[in-house]
Structure 1
Amino acid sequence: MAFVITQPCIGEKAAECVDVCPVDCIAEGEDQYFIDPDICIDCGACQAVCPVEAIYHEEELEEEDMAFLEKARKFYSE
């Protein structure tokens, strides 16, 4: 399981999450940051510092936010 960055991050890109990630699994995309679901260790450090509350654990995603998990997987597969 992994954390996922959702809609509130689009256009925001504050980057506090990048600074605190102990495994360097967060990368900047064109319109938002993404968490690599294969590297994320579920520590929650990123979620605690997100100023727009855009980061959720994969198991806590609402149905409408599941697309952001797929968007992250696509980002890291390219």
Structure 2
Amino acid sequence: MAHGFGDDQRWTLGRVKTLIGKLFHIGYTIEGVGKLLRRHGWSVEVAARRALERDEQAIATWEQEVWPAVKPPRRTWAPLDGRAPPG
């Protein structure tokens, strides 16, 4: 919150890049920030437990009703005219 990320406090590579630029006036690429952090022993962290506010019923409903409508169709290797590939 102290660095202006009050709405979502996750530290993404993009945010770390922005903060390095603001504090040290040095420009890094996203890939460079990732390498720099790994070099100094930092690693990706994921929450060990789920949020108390998590609504399992709402998630199940979304997965059943909304996700099928927005999920892209699977890609296929078959040619459009229906013939098998040569070879």
TM-score range, shorter chain: under 0.3
Higher-strand-fraction structure: 1
TM-score (norm 2): 0.26
Taking CA–CA contacts closer than 8 Å with sequence separation of 6 or more, which of the two structures ends up with the larger relative contact order?
1
TM-score (norm 1): 0.27
